[in-house]
Amino acid sequence: MSFRRFAWASFHHKSGLPPSHHHRLVRVFSLLIPHMEQLPPSSSFSDLPEDIARIVFQLVADRATTDALACALVCKMAKLWVEPSIYREVVVDAGGLFLRTVKAPTSTKPPDFFAVHVKSLFFESVENDVAIAEVLQKCRSVTSLAFWDIGSGYKTSLSQNLSTIALTPTRLSLLTDLVPPTGRHFRHPIFQAVTHLDLCVEPNKSPGWTWTTLKEMASLTHLSLFLSNVGGPRQFAQVPVKYLPPSFRVLVICVHRSADDDEIKAMSEGRVDPRAMVAFLGTSAAEEPPCRHTFFMTWTEFQNEWKHPSKVYPDAWTRAEKLIEQRQLEQSGKCKTILLNVFMCRRTSPFIPQSLRPSTPLESSCPIKGNP
């Protein structure tokens, strides 16, 4: 009997699942085969040490949420192995199972299960303030936290967590109008560990942000501003860039394709800030950006970066950083060309006295970093 068939028969017999579950086993084993083929021909899956079997299931579960769910249906032991992967990155929506699981009066999971294993929360279409507060209370170790489409107006649960040390994410995405008018600043404890911040700016709904406090976010390295609802994104972006902390590296300015081309060109050339890059958000991946040093991404792509942060690469900030490096190299090359032309003109022009002509080689006098 081949290893595939023997392993399948052995594990199927051990699991004792009814015939209605056969298709689930087939799916899991189709995912496990690449790992199992590396074992000796005389082995079976049931002969593996428990820790090896656990690692195999966890490897499969980490590939995608659907794979993790399939593994969880094999047997109780497999479910225990893969549940941390299932709950590592959670999308919280009004009709989803996660809210029901969190709010259940009794649970088979340990009391601190969600606090230990949930590392990413993406709130979508959840307007129940009490439900949001309960999820945040039980998932205290999140490193990535996103509030998208949770209704208009600020939430009491959110404003309370902004002002406590219960949550210290390193990635945070939110609409600016979710913060109460008296607290629109970046001194809140929830911002203290944030390195990657994404803000959907609603100037008409949330005026009065104190951008000067942005410099107090000592850990901040990456910022994205969704400015499609802002008239004159270039002028608006010039305000927060004045107060970016010394640690800062990349600014992504997100706009719709309908934005003014002159403004886009100015921002894409680094005239707002040399660390800034423009991203176009739309519905079709076939759209092309209108000018160089910009990039396009769909809403789904941008959303998935926050739904599954560990599974999406490169993200918007990584793409922007590469374009910034490319732009800097091109600008550096242009600068060298201009210096060379000026140098040669001064050295050879008959209208410049000999005493004023440069006598040192260009390489030794060029101030551009990187020259020998």
Q: How confident is the model at residue 337 (pLDDT cuts 50, 70, 90)?
A: low
| pTM assigned to the model | 0.75
Containing 29, the helix (H) or strand (E) segment is helix 22-36
Q: How many domains does the chain have?
A: 2
Domain membership flag for residue 43: yes
The reply to whether 65 and 180 lie within a common domain is no
The reply to whether 269 and 179 lie within a common domain is yes
Q: Which tokens sit at 23?
A: 């298709």
pLDDT over 80 (residue 213): yes
Between CA 137 and CA 39, with CA 84 as vertex, the angle to 5 degrees is 175
Residue bearing tokens 């021909």 = 41
pLDDT over 80 (residue 239): yes
**pLDDT single digits (tens) 136-194:** 889 999 999 999 877 655 667 677 777 776 789 999 998 888 888 888 899 998 999 99
The reply to whether 41 and 133 lie within a common domain is no
The reply to whether 256 and 303 lie within a common domain is yes
The reply to whether 79 and 203 lie within a common domain is no
The reply to whether 93 and 73 lie within a common domain is no
Q: Is the Cβ–Cβ distance between 74 and 28 less than 8 Å?
A: yes
The reply to whether 103 and 80 lie within a common domain is no
Domain membership flag for residue 102: yes
**Of the candidate ranges 3-7, 10-14, 266-270, 341-345, the one whose mean pLDDT is the lowest:** 3-7
The reply to whether 69 and 109 lie within a common domain is no
If you average pLDDT over residues 24-45, what whole number do you get?
53
Neighbours of 310 (CB within 10 A): 12
Which residues are 297's β-sheet partners? Answer: 281
If you average pLDDT over residues 87-92, what whole number do you get?
92
Domain membership flag for residue 60: yes
The reply to whether 207 and 128 lie within a common domain is yes
Containing 144, the helix (H) or strand (E) segment is strand 144-148
Domain membership flag for residue 270: yes
Q: CA dist 364 to 331, 343, 359, 368, 370, Å?
A: 20, 12, 11, 10, 12
Range of the domain at 248: 88-317
Q: By percentage, how much of the chain surpasses pLDDT 90?
A: 30
The reply to whether 216 and 80 lie within a common domain is no
